[in-house]
Homo-oligomer: A and B are copies of this chain.
């Protein structure tokens, strides 16, 4: 917690890059939880002081590294709404179950709680892709029978949230789920139950009748 923040103009570019690279590398290898400032400094060939000078907390370091080193963008629009929405859902599944962000975000949650700045940094980074995707959903929903503008942002969060939540609880995303969400958004149609049950009652009508 530096009372007097350092002068950004005097920042050493080489150190900055090395630290960002080291952070991304360690995030990939060990994840956010097991990421240590100590290891970042060591791998970057930099003193711990230098890291702490610019990033007072671990969460800010990780947030910035993700923002400057990981490319994310909106899914491209093909013109066909259903395909586009399906692609968006699939991209989300990837982003929240396989990508670097997927592994890092849940772990960062608590630290983000305490750090408004880092949260903003992340949200700003997600912004452009989000805007593009929101626009896509807006187009999709525009074709639905509903009248007036829709809250595409909520739809987007709905997709992300659903995928993330299932991931946390250990439920793998299935093709069925992708279709269900796509149909819900494009057609306003509630998800149909799969024809076969699975052992734990997640995503299946089976547990309704069984219980």
Contact = CB atoms under 8 A, between A and B. Distances in A.
A113 to B, nearest CB: 8
Contacts of A77: none
Interface stretch (A11-19, A43-51, A65-73, A156-164): A156-164
A160 to B, nearest CB: 5
A165 B155 contact: no
Interface string A132-165: 0011001001001010111111110110111111
A191 B38 CA distance: 46
A133 to B, nearest CB: 11
Interface size class of A (residues with CB under 8 A): 35 or more
A170 interface: yes
B203 A151 contact: yes
Contacts of A106: 106, 109-110, 168
Nearest to A132: B211
14 contacts: A106-B168, A107-B109, A116-B170, A123-B200, A130-B201, A138-B208, A149-B192, A149-B205, A149-B208, A152-B193, A157-B202, A160-B165, A161-B163, A184-B188
